[in-house]
Copies of this chain bind each other. A is one copy, B any other.
Amino acid sequence: MRLAELSRASGCPISTIKYYLREGLLPAGSEVNGTTAEYDESHVRRLTMVRVLREVGNLSVASVRDVLLAIDDPSLGLHDTLASAVHALGPHRDLPDREAIEPARSEVVAWLAASGWEVSPDAPSIDLLTLSLLGVRQFWGPAGPEIFDRYRDVADELGRGDLAQFDDVTDLEVTIGRMAVGTVVWEQALIALRRLAEENHSRRRFT
């Protein structure tokens, strides 16, 4: 198909497709002549993935590129693909002062290990969890990572259930797509549902 048809099939404006081509989020089509290229169904699928990561996950172009690199690396097995895709999500933010947060980070790492979780010690999510702990301490007083025990158990159950759907891998491409996109899409649903739950329970208690 030509560019105009790719735009119709994917629901992406032509200008956006051209932007994604320039940024390397979408592989070039096969050249027909100097000004025309031919695209196929793999381009439609890739565009769908990019759109969902951008529109639902609100990911930056750089993060989307990192997720796609993880998905496209044939040397990675299923686990490393998922771990790389999750790490690519970030968070990409400057830590206020890496040295100052190091003691709290070590506490978080030890608590995760004591919980029986095996995760990369350099997972960006550990930074985020450490920042959260420091934030909690400002408002709840001195606290160790154990203050997150209830949240840890809930996350553990969600992770177990989410991964269970991949037990029967029949189509590797579908599986990898769901893994990479699923982390983002279901996370946003969880954020939205928790905020709504807080509003609902607040209404019941305080009005």
A157 and B160 within 8 A (CB) = no
User: Which B residues lie within 8 Å of A56 (CB)?
Assistant: 131-132, 134-135
A159 and B198 within 8 A (CB) = yes
Residues of A whose CB lies within 8 Å of any CB of B are 48, 52, 55-56, 58, 77-79, 82-83, 86, 89, 91, 93, 96, 112, 117-120, 123, 125-126, 128-129, 131-136, 138-140, 148, 150-152, 154-163, 166-167, 174, 177-178, 181-207
Closest CB of chain B to A76's CB: distance in Å? 11
Alpha-carbon distance between A161 and B178 when the two chains are bound, in angstroms: 31
Could you say how many copies of this chain the assembly holds? 2
User: Which B residues lie within 8 Å of A182 (CB)?
Assistant: 139
A193 and B131 within 8 A (CB) = no
B198 and A183 within 8 A (CB) = yes
Which residue on B lies nearest to A130, using beta carbons? B192
